[in-house]
Amino acid sequence: MVPLSTMASSSKTIRRLEVVSPVPADIDIANSVQPLPISEIAESLNLSPKHYDLYGKYKAKVLLSVLDELQGSDDGYYVVVGGITPTPLGEGKSTTTVGLCQALGAFLDKKVFTCLRQPSQGPTFGIKGGAAGGGYSQVIPMDEFNLHLTGDIHAITAANNLLAAAIDTRIFHEASQSDKALFNRLCPPNKEGKRTFADIMHRRLKKLGISKTNPEDLTPDEIKRFARLDIDPQSITWRRVMDVNDRFLRKITIGQGPEEKGMVRETGFDISVASEIMAVLALTTSLGDMRERLGNMVIGNSKSGEPITADDLGVGGALTVLMKDAINPTLMQTLEGTPVLVHAGPFANIAHGNSSIVADKIALKLVGKNGFVVTEAGFGADIGTEKFMNIKCRYSGLVPQCAVIVATIRALKMHGGGPEVVAGKPLDKAYTSENVALVEAGCVNLAKHIENTKGYGVSVVVAINKFATDSDAEMNVVREAALRAGAFDAVICTHHAHGGKGAVDLGIAVQKACESQSQPLKFLYPLDISIKEKIEAIAKSYGASGVEYSEEAEKQIELYTKQGFSGLPICMAKTQYSFSHIASLKGAPTGFNIPIRDVRASIGAGFIYPLVGTMSTMPGLPTRPCFFDIDVDIATGKVRGLS
């Protein structure tokens, strides 16, 4: 048997696109290309069937064991794609990520891997439509990418809600039982009539400092401490989730059935990708690490202020069982036949908005020395790239060489003072006709993102994502401003219209940037300073003068510090539409104070998240959602109407 090595040239799987102008609808382009069997893509990566599980013909889960096999081999270059502060229409980060990889793999003969987030099904049926890139830079099959994929989000939903059910049911059963009765039910006699602890109970015993292994030996006080979690219902931060835009679940009252004996409680649902379990999946590094993170998730406090975890509830192992296949990333392909790993898609505000560490690690080994792994960081670089560096790379130990910042003339004009851009409304003509002055004025936003990103010790390449209406003069202004701000290069790309061919210059620039870079990663803040000092370091990077804390925020910071969680990195929950907390403040504002309304924590995933303003974690549906157009062609079984 040939041992696993880094990937063979992917040239066998490369497919040339015949592009059409004007660019057809995304789904029409996606459907016009016959994907290769994913086993052929896997073969081009030197993966044999024992390294992956097929899920249909065009998706496969790459098994984590690949990492063990490739432990000693070299990593490729690591490239992160961020963006300037966007308009509500998005500036094409995913499309650029895919287009850049198509250029590197299909035109520059490089070994390359795209690492992307799995999208939520909520937007697919709601407003936004799909998230597989766009135009001639897409991941295919587009419908499979946007729908169930290989079930990871469904596994998260199942695990999240099993934990939620465990919380309320435990409170319910504790309310009606004595310490002794509770204990006896938790440790029932086995066939030999002897009471035993389940394996998972040893974790709680250890946390309580009880070293006894025989249930019969516990004192009444130890029985009480062990069996009675005494959860304070007011303190519960764990919510239920659903991968649907269901606004009516944002705030609900549960437990109103007669059998629940009046134990009603206000709570709510988030969309599944906002679950802490999604953040765990994105940040974990191995099955064993995931088991620990899931068990350590804190769902609230006891009435005496002790954090209560999933393992205290006895459910950390079951959660891991539900997530054991989800930990393997999903292999797909781009329109031009280069490989893609799709894995995890945590919220970009209340979580860190980056795809998974394990996918990046596998990809870096598979492309090997001089190969490229390109991954995307959600939102603008102030949020996405910042969290990529300070949270994701801190946990993974991986060091990026190059950061791409995607800019559009449209967004720069907005930052320069152009009229408001509103999704669903026609664009003002300032955006569709030449206006060099507006662009020039807006470049302060780009410059600030370049400056911040360079601070991490990476080369910055600006990708100007060209629209048909952009003029050469406008683009030249951006290029000059980017170089002035210290960018390694700034390149015009047309991958939406031309596929990889439109991003060849970008690919060359990224290659040079990577080859010229060998600095270690410089974090924005160390972990061993206080929570407030970390928040303030990030606020300063936004251009803020200071930070203001609400009473609630002060209280939570004190609690988390007391509970021993102050050493975690910080994940700011802030609007993506401004460096500041005020979405309408465009450009590169200064002199503002960042208000921290509240502070929450994802202890299992491993970060504290201060809330800057109100973040919706459950989208709604409009009067006419996308679903009106979506159907199956009965004759062919193909999906129609996805956008």
169 binds its own copies (CB under 8 A): yes
- The packing angle between helices 316-323 and 287-296, to 10°, is 140
Window 398-417: residues binding its own copies (CB under 8 A):
none
Instruction: Collect all residues with Cβ–Cβ distance below 8 Å to 572 and sequence separation of at least 6.
Output: 349, 383, 386, 535, 538, 609, 610, 612
* From 207-215, 308-316, 442-450, 512-520, span contacting its own copies (CB under 8 A): 308-316
Judged by CB under 8 A, the residue of 44, 114, 161, 541 near its own copies is 161
251 binds its own copies (CB under 8 A): yes
Residue 188 or 417 with smaller CB distance to its own copies: 188
Least distance (Å) from its own copies to the CB of residue 53? Answer: 4
**Best CA proximity match to 100, nearest among 511, 515, 604:** 511
* From 309-317, 347-355, 559-567, 573-581, span contacting its own copies (CB under 8 A): 309-317
426 binds its own copies (CB under 8 A): no
Judged by CB under 8 A, the residue of 148, 454, 540, 600 near its own copies is 148
Judged by CB under 8 A, the residue of 15, 154, 479, 597 near its own copies is 154
Query: From residue 268 to residue 307, what is the string marking binding to its own copies with x (rule CB under 8 A)?
Result: x------------------xx--x----------------
196 binds its own copies (CB under 8 A): no
Q: CB of 137 within 8 A of CB of 334?
A: yes
Window 602-631: residues binding its own copies (CB under 8 A):
620-625, 627-631
Query: From residue 201 to residue 230, what is the string marking binding to its own copies with x (rule CB under 8 A)?
Result: x-----------------------------
Site size with its own copies, rule: CB under 8 A: 88
DSSP secondary structure letters along 225-291: HHH---B-GGG----EEESS--GGGSSEEE--SGGGTT--EEE-EEEGGGSHHHHHHHH--SHHHHH
- Work out whether the CA dihedral 298, 301, 305, 311 comes out positive or negative: negative
321 binds its own copies (CB under 8 A): yes
542 binds its own copies (CB under 8 A): no
Window 22-81: residues binding its own copies (CB under 8 A):
53-57, 61
Q: What are phi and psi of 564, to 5 degrees?
A: 90, 20
**Best CA proximity match to 603, nearest among 365, 348, 297:** 297
Q: CB of 94 within 8 A of CB of 376?
A: yes
Judged by CB under 8 A, the residue of 24, 88, 233, 317 near its own copies is 317
Judged by CB under 8 A, the residue of 222, 232, 260, 505 near its own copies is 260
422 binds its own copies (CB under 8 A): no
Q: What are phi and psi of 410, to 5 degrees?
A: -55, -50
Residue 215 or 499 with smaller CB distance to its own copies: 215
- Please state, in angstroms and rounded to a whole number, the distance separating the CA atoms of residues 574 and 296: 26
Angstrom distances, CA of residue 382 to CA of 132, 387, 397, 453, 635: 23, 8, 21, 8, 48
Residue 252 or 559 with smaller CB distance to its own copies: 252
468 binds its own copies (CB under 8 A): no
Q: Which residues pair with 459 in a beta bridge?
A: 402
244 binds its own copies (CB under 8 A): yes
Least distance (Å) from its own copies to the CB of residue 168? Answer: 4
Q: CB of 268 within 8 A of CB of 250?
A: yes
Q: What are phi and psi of 288, to 5 degrees?
A: -65, -40
Token pair listed for 68: 């063990």
Least distance (Å) from its own copies to the CB of residue 468? Answer: 15
Which residue shows structure tokens 């059910």?
165
Mode of pairing for the β-strands spanning 631-632 and 639-640: antiparallel
- Please state, in angstroms and rounded to a whole number, the distance separating the CA atoms of residues 50 and 66: 9
Residue 567 or 613 with smaller CB distance to its own copies: 613
Window 83-122: residues binding its own copies (CB under 8 A):
121
Rounded to 5°, the CA angle 103-105-110 comes to 115
Residue 108 or 263 with smaller CB distance to its own copies: 263
164 binds its own copies (CB under 8 A): yes
Judged by CB under 8 A, the residue of 89, 127, 147, 559 near its own copies is 147
Judged by CB under 8 A, the residue of 40, 69, 246, 434 near its own copies is 246
Least distance (Å) from its own copies to the CB of residue 248? Answer: 4
Mode of pairing for the β-strands spanning 372-376 and 77-83: parallel
Window 122-141: residues binding its own copies (CB under 8 A):
125
Gap between the terminal Cα atoms of the chain: 44
Angstrom distances, CA of residue 419 to CA of 414, 431, 512, 613: 7, 9, 37, 24
Least distance (Å) from its own copies to the CB of residue 471? Answer: 24
Residue 457 or 641 with smaller CB distance to its own copies: 641
Residue 58 or 78 with smaller CB distance to its own copies: 58
Question: Is the peptide bond preceding residue 3 cis, with omega within 30 degrees of 0?
Answer: no
Helix (H/G/I), strand (E/B), else coil: 183: helix
Residue 253 or 516 with smaller CB distance to its own copies: 253
Residue 228 or 600 with smaller CB distance to its own copies: 228
Least distance (Å) from its own copies to the CB of residue 113? Answer: 22
